[in-house]
Amino acid sequence: MDYYNYIKSLHLIFVVTWFAGLFYEPRLFIYHIEASKKSSPEKEILEKQLKIMSRRLWYIITWPSAVLATIFAIWLLVLMPEWLYQSWMLIKTGFILLLFAYHLKTHQMFLEFQRDEILYSSNFMRIWNEGATLFLFAIVFLAIVKSAIHWIFMVLGTLGLIIFLMLAIKLYKRLREKSAVDDN
């Protein structure tokens, strides 16, 4: 079991790079939405560059990181099969399945943006962008704390974080709208 810490380290490294992609990809979607409202030739130049950046991030960093994080997670479970019988791991696994659903939906959005299909508002994408934060918060707390009592506090903390993020997004939207009015 000397290599357990190496496997765990690799798992964590790829979790970090996976989340980096999940944090930044929706931000690129927001820029793409905003670029689509600009006039030519700025619109075409920005959209082309954003699609390149998005494609590279998604296929070179985000997807490989998701796959490698999963491989190392499975390897850890092979080394520590007793975790599969602990409640914290079952709950964490549920959040990870939801994270994969979030990842796959983001992939669907990615494909739409690659085709210049703008189906979402920038405000919606700002909210969507916070989804990865919520998953990270829940998964890390479960992995570190591993307690049913703390699970209740984690749920309440996650709900508090959701409320805080929603209020921050609304405030940011108001400030942007006010700034746009002041600029005119």
Which of the two residues, 121 and 149, has the higher pLDDT score?
121
Residues 86 and 4: beta-carbon distance below 8 Å: no
pLDDT of residue 179: 81
For residue 149, is pLDDT > 60? no
Give the pLDDT mean for 137-144: 86
Which of the two residues, 165 and 136, has the higher pLDDT score?
136
Segments making up each domain of the chain, as ranges: 4-183
CA-to-CA separations, 70 to 5, 23, 35, 53, 127, in angstroms, rounded: 16, 18, 35, 24, 26
CA-to-CA distance for 101 and 119, rounded, in angstroms?
19
Give the pLDDT mean for 150-157: 68
List the single range of 55-64, 92-101, 130-139 with lowest mean pLDDT.
130-139
Give the pLDDT mean for 52-58: 98
> What's at 154, amino acid-wise?
M
Pick the closest to residue 135 from 101, 170, 172 (CA basis).
Answer: 101
pLDDT of residue 12: 97
Which of the two residues, 128 and 182, has the higher pLDDT score?
128
pLDDT of residue 148: 52
- Rounded to two decimals, what is the model's pTM? 0.83
Which of the two residues, 138 and 8, has the higher pLDDT score?
8
Written as six digits, the tokens of 65 are 């990181």
Query: Which spans in the chain are helix H?
Result: 4-35, 42-56, 63-79, 87-114, 122-129, 131-145, 148-183
Pick the closest to residue 113 from 130, 128, 94, 134 (CA basis).
Answer: 128
For residue 69, is pLDDT > 90? yes
